[in-house]
Structure 1
Amino acid sequence: MKKDDFSVMKKLNMKDLANTYDVLGEACFLINKVFNLSIFMYLVTTFIFIVLTIWWSIYIITGRAQDSNESSSLFIVTVWCISKTMSVGAMCFGCCNLNETRDKTKVFINDIIMNYGIVKTTRQQAKSFLELLECWPLNIYIYDMFNVDISLMLKFTSVSTTYLIIIIQVSHFIE
């Protein structure tokens, strides 16, 4: 940690930073409370459309499609699925960055606490701020089932890939 960082922290009031973090934690709590259903439905509909697009594309690729309009509408639906998957990824990436910033803040606050060259009141305020960081994890959950972060995106991709394999296997039996 640079010496300039500590000089900036001497000028800042830890209580103001803690109050700001508390407001951010309450905002995450309200997001969890208010947007549970909408985020859940967004994920469910995106997943269903991805599975249907996989099935439809296999149907067209195997030559069972009768109309050329089906392939053009497949392109539109595929673009829609890709855009929705990217928006889910952006949401997961944003939540992951929020957690990484929280972890970096914890390390920085811990360095302030351990620096005995800083005024005792600032260190005590930093200890209180560290306790506040422990209380507000800043995680976005969907009905306490899914944590919205990069692992959700990986789960989303792995389940979609599993359904791709299942649909390919079933399509070979139908032929």
Structure 2
Amino acid sequence: MSTGGHRSLKNPKPNFAQLEKAVKLDHWRPRYRWASQHTHSGCRPPLSLLGTVESKRHIHLVGQSNSGFTDPLHMASISLNQVTGSLLMTRPTIDNVVFVQIISDLSEEIGDVAFKVEKQTYAEAQKKEERNRKARQPASRGAGKSIRKRPAAKR
């Protein structure tokens, strides 16, 4: 068993970034860094963090959020597509070629569906926020009430 690195690498103990570059998948590196920035922090504006992408204000996320899952979900499906396709094509049968195409189509569909769902949930959240904002506003004086005139004072 070889303990050396990939034959195109000069480094016998390559890191992940070097391996990604060797197999021409280094274009995914920024997305990987974006997905792991909550764990391995860097300098990012608060509105660009996963979980807060729909926020209009600078907030610090505490707890769970379903905001901003479209890109990570689609990237995960693409990664699974690549890994599964590579594994299946070690034995290139007609069935495996068909399976690879089906998985590839599903991967693309996942991205489209996730985008539509995110747009829908964002619109619903905006409507809810608008209803809550209106509910917090004090009612204007006399709105919806009949105004009775006070009887004139006796002199």
> Which of these two proteins has the greater Rg computed from alpha carbons?
2
TM-score (norm 1): 0.30
Q: TM-score, normalised by structure 2?
A: 0.32
Comparing both structures, which one devotes a greater share of its residues to helix?
A: 1
- RCO higher in 1 or 2 (8 Å CA, sep ≥ 6)? 1
